[in-house]
Structure 1
Amino acid sequence: MNTPETEQTLNIGTQHYRFHSLRKAEAQLGDISRLPRSLKILLENLLRKADTEAVSVDDLKALVAWQHHGGHSDQEIAFSPARVLMQDFTGVPAVADLAAMRDAVTALGGDPQHVNPLSPVDLVIDHSVMVDHYGNADAFRANVQAEMSRNHERYAFLRWGQTAFNNFRVVPPGTGICHQVNLEYLGQTVWTEERDGEIWAYPDTLVGTDSHTTMINGLGILGWGVGGIEAEAAMLGQPVSMLIPEVVGVKLSGALREGITATDLVLTVTEMLRKHGVVGKFVEFYGDGLAQLPLADRATLANMAPEYGATCGFFPVDEETLRYLRLSGRSDDQIALVEAYCKEQGLWRHPGDEPLFTSSLALDLGAVQASLAGPKRPQDRVALTDLKTRFDELMALNLTPSGAGISDLEAEGGQPAPGAGGTAHVEFNGDRFELNHGAVVIAAITSCTNTSNPGVMLAAGLLAEKALARGLMRKPWVKSSLAPGSKVVTEYLQATGLDRALDQLGFNLVGYGCTTCIGNSGPLADPIEHAIRDQDLTVASVLSGNRNFEGRVHPAVKTNWLASPPLVVAFALAGRIDLDLSRDPLGKDSNGTPVYLRDIWPSQQEIATALGHVNTGMFRREYAAVFDGDTDWQAIEISADDTYTWPDSSYIRQPPFFDGMSAEPEPVNDIVNARILALLGDSVTTDHISPAGAIKADSPAGRYLQEQGVEQQDFNSYGSRRGNHEVMMRGTFANIRIRNEMLDGVEGGETLYHPGVEQLSIYDAAMRYQQEGVDLVVVAGKEYGTGSSRDWAAKGTRLLGVRAVVAESFERIHRSNLLGMGVLPLEFMDTDRQQLGLTGEETLSLSGLDQLQPKQVLTLTLTRTDGQTQQVPVRCRIDTGNELTYFRHGGILHYVLRRMLGKS
């Protein structure tokens, strides 16, 4: 069969668009009427690239045949996203890699101008603002000033990249969170480009260097998070290699009850889908209940796809999509194109639609309860009414729901740890109070998940207003903050007057960025932090975010709870987490009368009235000059050179990945007598692996910075120093809560160096092994690499000298990142580290790597200290031919660079 002829013209008024017709493809390939809409978008993507070497007719046939094989396929396809989205933490190392690639091309005799993004790239600076100042009218100005001072070198580098590279735009700091800017402005639902004098239309698709790129799925745009390495390859013209995914349908019916928020819904769906198992799969929402979900609620559900483990959480286009595009200021021509194109292509949602799925679940929206999630995983939902009981159980057992101890409270025999039951007497800002277990010390309205949703943001403001009317105030030990996802939020809070109520309760604007959700919570007040540490208190944060992994929000806060913005305000008023707010009062009014949550919870009608203040003019005003930045940004001086002049900087250093690179790849060497660098358990996150949060003075990274003359108060965060590999490799596996099973009861980035059984930091041990020419492996349990798409979790692993990671299972993005850096991902098949009785003293060998095949079963040879050997079958988790090519080149960027050299 020849490639289908699918080109056609769509006429909308006087405008003519060329497109690849799915109707014409259907006539040649077979019925696709019940294909999930997310896969229809993939099919169109393949049709558009069908005349290239990346896509064959067999790929098209396999995608159509997916319907007839139970929603399964082992066919590898090449997805070509329309664009790439980045945030600054992942964007800085990506731009650094591009700059280093230009240097490498120059060194090998090529033209550095060949290194340019071929797809449009938008980088939004949103991850650098920290909550140093809070609870006052000057907090925003002071935090922005500190951000610009700390990050001047990084921002100068990004400003250079904005001018040096084609197809590369930067949204300056102080504008918003990348996902919200994407939802409110960048996303088009249907993309257009001019080719040979004709305008072509096709679905807006993207990959992003942040796992919550999936938020855009709420707007009918197919996109998901990838590692920075894979994103760099995509923007340099390489398709994303993937297997045709399984698609899990989630059928929604009914409507949310009075008092139930989108946050409650997403925590319920996260729990449900984690139990079902959707890792590596698409999730697509359908059913007539979608008519009851505003776009912002859909975006909230789509945002947390990484938390329920899916590649994406897709919503089809319908009237609600058009309403949001209109509200957010998209042009009439764009809206007309979206409607006409999606209806013509069969991408439009109709009542009663029943697509075919690999598997399907159903949820009655009316059954959703008010909920939180915690204390350390977003899938561990707890009904609001059960929260007190749950926290009491944790304190009594010193165990989390997954069975891992609440770090410093573990004690032998299940007895309370030292300090349990302690009470601290604190004096702070003129207030005297007692601090006990269960105190809420951080209450943060933060994160892309909820700050994009006017319904829950206005509900928080209304609750604050009602609380003030009853005389309630935030407890003095609570660090409160408000970090909207865009300036539009500030406009509608001001338009309703609800900003004044939030300010009075201490929820003043602290910045436009991710803040607490990514660990940029800033310091606790010294008296509070000293009290927590001196009495070993188990305290809490409550945040409207999507991640609550241990050690992420703040190192002194052991339990972290995800909740809706109004519940964040409520817990700031209560000051405690160990409450049943359906029965326990938040406090007392001026008459001594108890005030309950139900007394101040806003009604749906009150929220709807407030929503009436959100209008198109707000969006158009705030995005009119979105790329300009303020005077500080514009005043940054930059070079006009094509290649970057690397400064003597502790923030930006030339990456070493291309040092000594040859024009042709070398053979892949076998792994011989490798040592185990770390022996890890289940659900090890990229937060555990990748450097994140604060840099400790006595850590390898802290010592390095001090050797460079950097004072401790100027350390900034690991995220802000992602452009310096010397800092990042020292911070890899250095999370304060990581547990290496080679060491009994020890937390933090430590390991045993063999032979000799010497306890060292993982970095120091890795460097010693490198000096001796010893290969290294990491061994882990299930769900290795859960969480954010942190490219440094893979880059740091490689720079430490790790050749392979052997785990029971991998999260999708981290597996891809590992092989993209030339690190081999392997999965145990019929055993695991515990059944093997591994202690970390063993050596591991693996042969035949130069003849490796995708998904090949290999034999790992395990040698014990007594010389006994054991053959262990493992599966190579290089899943596709393209991935194998990248691995053989030593990484995806090395492959791309060699291709560029061939064209120069």
Structure 2
Amino acid sequence: MGSVDSFKAKGTLEVGGQSYEIYRLAGVEGQETLPYSLKVLLENLLRTEDGANITADHIRAIGSWDENAEPATEIQFTPARVIMQDFTGVPCVVDLATMREAVADLGGDPARINPLAPAELVIDHSVIIDVFGRADAFERNVEIEYQRNRERYQFLRWGQTAFDDFKVVPPGTGIVHQVNIEHLARTVMVRDGVAYPDTCVGTDSHTTMVNGLGVLGWGVGGIEAEAAMLGQPVSMLIPRVVGFKLSGSIPVAATATDVVLTITEMLRKHGVVGKFVEFYGEGVSQVPLANRATIGNMSPEFGSTCAIFPIDEVTLDYLRLTGRSDESVALVEAYAKEQGMWLKAGPDQPEARYSEYLELDLGTVVPSIAGPKRPQDRIALTDAKESFRKVLPTYVAHDEGDAGAASSFPASDPSPQGTTDGTNGGSKPADEGDGTGRPSKKVSVTDAEGRTFEIDHGIVSIASITSCTNTSNPSVMMAAAMLAKNAVEKGLSVAPWVKTSMAPGSKVVTGYYDKAGMWPYLEKLGFHLVGYGCTTCIGNSGPLNDEISKAINDNDLAVTSVLSGNRNFEGRINPDVKMNYLASPPLVIAYALAGTMDFDFASQPLGQDTDGKDVFLDDIWPAPADVERTIAASISQEMFTEDYADVFAGDERWQSLPTPEGDTFAWDGESTYVRKPPYFDGMSMETTPVADIEGARVLAKLGDSVTTDHISPAGAIKNDSPAGKYLAEHGIERKDFNSYGSRRGNHEVMIRGTFANIRLKNLLLDGVEGGFTRDFTQGGEQTTIYDAAQSYAAAGTPLVILSGKEYGSGSSRDWAAKGTSLLGVKAVIAESYERIHRSNLIGMGVIPLQYPAGQNADSLGLDGTETFSITGITALNEGTTPKTVKVVATKESGETVEFDAVVRIDTPGEADYYRNGGILQYVLRSLVNG
């Protein structure tokens, strides 16, 4: 951690008889009024200043930050650690394993490839709710999970033993973000005697949950995470910071979920994409840590990079409760106060300055849900029935549009709304009404247990307490359990068509439910433990019962799910379910009891008690004071220390997995889950000079706002897709295809799924959606993008992508860049880029180019049938980055279109990555030479 230390910041801090080396902020002019989050970045630069990538000018730029200016200064941020979940983490470990072999091939020591920053992976994305509503659901689901993912888990077991500073939390333990705040997060790190703020990047967008603990961190793609693990900094612009003032306190009837849905609506409306959000004001001290974590968790739903709370007494209390040592808690307090990072501003700590200001009086928050397809579309619970009826006709008539769809980044336009008379002018007539002004199609179903009942549009087919957002929060989790207890004692029951599930974020939840005696009541309503994982929120809801699924699909019913999660995009939760609503855990149970979204809790009873008296939600809603008393009597520090005492060891299943040994991984040539990627094939220590691009063809011509969800493989694998055919050819039955996410360790599957999104519109084709293009080696005939890329590769033809504005927006998906590169794409020409995807393209050896200002493919007359040459790239071989390169597009007629494309290699570090063929090759050569 050597530093040039231009500001003489290096010093010591004495805490409890221990001496720590620290880098004080006090010597940097302007630091006193910086937001907390920028103070963390400032310390990061002071500690890592090297005079080259991180200079005194960068440090001054943060100190003299102009809160009113647009971001323009690029800095190099070095996160303290990396956290991963298994879907996105497996490819990272695959790449590290491949680098070890490459080092050996280059004559180096493979053991030198190790994370230089602590890296922790939590297996939480693979459990699916196949079994539910019964006592053995958890055991059965974990058993099936191991059967499906055995190869991946063996590989991760090898990584756990082969790499230093890499740890794996086995399946059946908890959700990555809850495990992070309850155990892994340090708040203040100590390494080699140096104390500094805990910061992290994670391969999951909801890494921001740790912001609630004062830890600056956010989600990144796998390429960036790998680079961070190997000591490479993350390039970023010094951001605008939105100050969000909290005042007042949460009303009796509202929950933390209601607060976060209100904040999500406010921030999405305000516009915070690419900005930091920081909470301040007298109301902050009234917000429990679990609520802060819930708010931080939803940062991707607002669109901000982070949503952070400074350190205060609430932080310290939570660290103590969750079993952190007295020494570490004392250090957090002393360090935060020494560096001006403590929440309460004293006379020597002036108010921070912010770029923009918002304010929420917590006392104005009302019970809410969000949906039916975007987390920012908040609905006051009192308006829920009316809102549902307004939008239902559009779903019945298949006229709901695609704003906020699963394949799209959440849009800012309001949800489409139909009328209340059952008609909306759609192409398909609405069903007949039921006399209430809403479409109705009642269908009789007899289930496997012999029960006969009627289902209709709007039934709640899934009620799931799930997801990191809320399962980490004892106040809403205990409220749900106590509501279940009250319901059971009144004689209420859940409708037979509701698939119920309980997937806590850690075993601590199970512990306090046990101690409070709540499990019998939850189970009586069908909310049995199904797993410790993300489950429903990421689409692992599992199938509905066959009879219900058949009735829904045969009759084209528009049914709903209610979940305590953070994502509710169309098509994400379950293929049978069109409308998805986010709600607090107690409201999930309330809707399970109601059985339908067409319900007004204020005026309609949930059922009758044993005396035949109507029971309303208000009758069973637990008083907050009772909830807090129950929590206080049921949660203890010992629960956390016991549950996390041996968190990396795993159960008997994990420990009994046959695990390969050795510094390098023994690849199984027959595996369809984990294969050695070709990134380093034929690589030498000497870089190959970069070359101009000649004779290139267009693989896809795309429009504006093409997201990484459109590019990167995601979701289910279709039978007739190139990936499906590949798996079938390798003897995999359809039922065992699993998902692209679970097969991210196999580049053969992932290449075939790149640009294969069913909503992708390739303008080389007329009116065709999906992963198709024209193959000009075959006379321009239509084929899949993968098959065309194979034909071009056989012919030695390089490829380009043409696109419009905001190319690569959305989540930072590494495979959006990896797949692009492996398909043979050498350049992307777009009107503008999302920053992270642009950087990831360079990291995979693909050059991002930009049309001249005001120009695009259409204005230049490019239709995608041209042959392209791009010259001037070779200037990079001389150590300079050209501002522009010359593009000549030759049409079939011989006519040419010429323009100077802007080279979007924006930093010297990015130029080094490109010269080396990619970031992994750059790091590999550096480590061998180092």
> 1:313 aligns to what SS in structure 2?
strand
Alignment check: 8 A CA contact 1:134 1:479 kept: yes
Residues 342 and 413 of structure 1: CA distance in aligned 2, closer, same or farther (over 3 Å): closer
Between the aligned partners of 2:906 and 2:172, the Cα distance in structure 1 is 40
Alignment check: 8 A CA contact 1:87 1:210 kept: yes
- 1:99 to partner: Cα distance: 0.9
Work out whether 1:557 is the aligned partner of 2:577: yes
Work out whether 1:795 is the aligned partner of 2:801: no
Counterpart for residue 348 of structure 1: 342
The 5 Å alignment of 1:476-515 reads 476-515=496-535
Amino acid at match of 1:793: A
Between the aligned partners of 2:261 and 2:869, the Cα distance in structure 1 is 43
Correspondent of 1:118 among 116, 119, 124: 116
Amino acid at match of 1:614: I
Amino acid at match of 2:212: G
Between the aligned partners of 1:537 and 1:809, the Cα distance in structure 2 is 41
Alignment check: 8 A CA contact 1:519 1:692 kept: no
Between the aligned partners of 2:57 and 2:406, the Cα distance in structure 1 is 51
Alignment check: 8 A CA contact 1:480 1:506 kept: yes
Work out whether 1:330 is the aligned partner of 2:324: yes
Work out whether 1:219 is the aligned partner of 2:243: no
Alignment check: 8 A CA contact 1:243 1:880 kept: no
Work out whether 1:821 is the aligned partner of 2:844: yes
Between the aligned partners of 2:8 and 2:561, the Cα distance in structure 1 is 57
Aligned-pair identity (%): 59
The 5 Å alignment of 1:122-521 reads 122-194=120-192, 199-350=193-344, 354-397=351-394, 398-400=398-400, 403=403, 414-417=425-428, 423-429=442-448, 430-521=450-541
- 1:275 to partner: Cα distance: 2.8
Alignment check: 8 A CA contact 2:30 2:64 kept: no
- 1:181 to partner: Cα distance: 0.9
Residues 427 and 739 of structure 1: CA distance in aligned 2, closer, same or farther (over 3 Å): farther
- 1:585 to partner: Cα distance: 4.3
For residues 552-601 of structure 1, the C-alpha deviation after alignment (integer angstroms, 9 at most, x for no partner) is: 22233232222222222222222223444444444555566554333333
Between 40-49 and 388-397, report the one with greater CA deviation: 388-397
Correspondent of 2:19 among 5, 16, 20: 16
Alignment check: 8 A CA contact 1:124 1:172 kept: yes
Between the aligned partners of 1:618 and 1:336, the Cα distance in structure 2 is 22
Counterpart for residue 644 of structure 1: 665
The 5 Å alignment of 1:514-663 reads 514-589=534-609, 594-612=614-632, 613-647=634-668, 648-663=670-685
Residues 102 and 436 of structure 1: CA distance in aligned 2, closer, same or farther (over 3 Å): same
Residues 331 and 305 of structure 1: CA distance in aligned 2, closer, same or farther (over 3 Å): same
Residues 897 and 602 of structure 1: CA distance in aligned 2, closer, same or farther (over 3 Å): same
Amino acid at match of 1:479: K
Residues 814 and 638 of structure 1: CA distance in aligned 2, closer, same or farther (over 3 Å): same
For residues 179-217 of structure 1, the C-alpha deviation after alignment (integer angstroms, 9 at most, x for no partner) is: 1111001111111123xxxx2211111111112111111
- 1:136 to partner: Cα distance: 0.7
> 1:698 aligns to what SS in structure 2?
coil
Residues 403 and 47 of structure 1: CA distance in aligned 2, closer, same or farther (over 3 Å): closer
Amino acid at match of 1:902: N
Counterpart for residue 434 of structure 2: none
For residues 455-512 of structure 1, the C-alpha deviation after alignment (integer angstroms, 9 at most, x for no partner) is: 1111221222222233332222222211111100111112222222221111111111
Between 595-604 and 615-624, report the one with greater CA deviation: 595-604
- 1:418 to partner: Cα distance: 7.0
Amino acid at match of 2:771: G
Between 390-399 and 714-723, report the one with greater CA deviation: 390-399
Segments of structure 1 that go 5 or more residues without pairing to the other structure are none
- 1:289 to partner: Cα distance: 1.3
Residues 275 and 809 of structure 1: CA distance in aligned 2, closer, same or farther (over 3 Å): farther
Query: For the aligned residues, what is the CA RMSD?
Result: 3.2
Correspondent of 1:105 among 91, 103, 124: 103
Residues 66 and 523 of structure 1: CA distance in aligned 2, closer, same or farther (over 3 Å): same
- 1:252 to partner: Cα distance: 1.5
Work out whether 1:899 is the aligned partner of 2:893: no
Amino acid at match of 1:509: L
> 2:376 aligns to what SS in structure 1?
coil
Between 132-141 and 75-84, report the one with greater CA deviation: 75-84
Between the aligned partners of 2:387 and 2:863, the Cα distance in structure 1 is 34
The 5 Å alignment of 1:839-878 reads 846-851=870-875, 877-878=904-905
Between the aligned partners of 2:405 and 2:41, the Cα distance in structure 1 is 43
Counterpart for residue 726 of structure 1: 748
Between the aligned partners of 1:34 and 1:803, the Cα distance in structure 2 is 46
Between the aligned partners of 1:557 and 1:11, the Cα distance in structure 2 is 58
Alignment check: 8 A CA contact 1:736 1:747 kept: yes
Between the aligned partners of 2:509 and 2:277, the Cα distance in structure 1 is 29
Amino acid at match of 1:817: N
Residues 350 and 315 of structure 1: CA distance in aligned 2, closer, same or farther (over 3 Å): same
Amino acid at match of 1:92: V
- 1:294 to partner: Cα distance: 0.5
Counterpart for residue 917 of structure 2: 890
Report how many aligned residue pairs link the two structures.
893
- 1:781 to partner: Cα distance: 5.9
Between the aligned partners of 1:561 and 1:757, the Cα distance in structure 2 is 45
Amino acid at match of 1:640: E
Between 429-438 and 318-327, report the one with greater CA deviation: 429-438
Amino acid at match of 1:425: S
Between the aligned partners of 1:535 and 1:204, the Cα distance in structure 2 is 53
- 1:155 to partner: Cα distance: 1.2
For residues 268-300 of structure 1, the C-alpha deviation after alignment (integer angstroms, 9 at most, x for no partner) is: 222322233222222211111111111111111
Between the aligned partners of 1:437 and 1:319, the Cα distance in structure 2 is 49
TM-score calculated relative to the size of structure 2: 0.89
Between the aligned partners of 2:656 and 2:163, the Cα distance in structure 1 is 20
Between the aligned partners of 1:603 and 1:753, the Cα distance in structure 2 is 65
Alignment check: 8 A CA contact 2:25 2:43 kept: yes
Alignment check: 8 A CA contact 2:188 2:197 kept: yes
Between the aligned partners of 1:815 and 1:383, the Cα distance in structure 2 is 39
For residues 239-261 of structure 1, the C-alpha deviation after alignment (integer angstroms, 9 at most, x for no partner) is: 22222222222122222222222
Between 261-270 and 777-786, report the one with greater CA deviation: 777-786
Between the aligned partners of 1:595 and 1:805, the Cα distance in structure 2 is 61
Segments of structure 2 that go 5 or more residues without pairing to the other structure are 408-415, 432-438
Amino acid at match of 2:499: K
Counterpart for residue 79 of structure 1: 77
Between 766-775 and 507-516, report the one with greater CA deviation: 766-775
Between the aligned partners of 1:694 and 1:767, the Cα distance in structure 2 is 23
- 1:224 to partner: Cα distance: 1.5
Amino acid at match of 2:426: Q
Between the aligned partners of 1:682 and 1:387, the Cα distance in structure 2 is 34
Between the aligned partners of 2:487 and 2:39, the Cα distance in structure 1 is 49
The 5 Å alignment of 1:765-844 reads 765-778=788-801, 784-785=807-808, 787-805=810-828, 810-825=833-848, 830=854
The 5 Å alignment of 1:651-800 reads 651-670=673-692, 675-678=697-700, 685-736=707-758, 738=760, 740=762, 748-753=770-775, 758-778=781-801, 784-785=807-808, 787-800=810-823
TM-score calculated relative to the size of structure 1: 0.91
> 2:31 aligns to what SS in structure 1?
coil
Between the aligned partners of 2:768 and 2:321, the Cα distance in structure 1 is 53
Amino acid at match of 2:584: S
- 1:620 to partner: Cα distance: 0.8
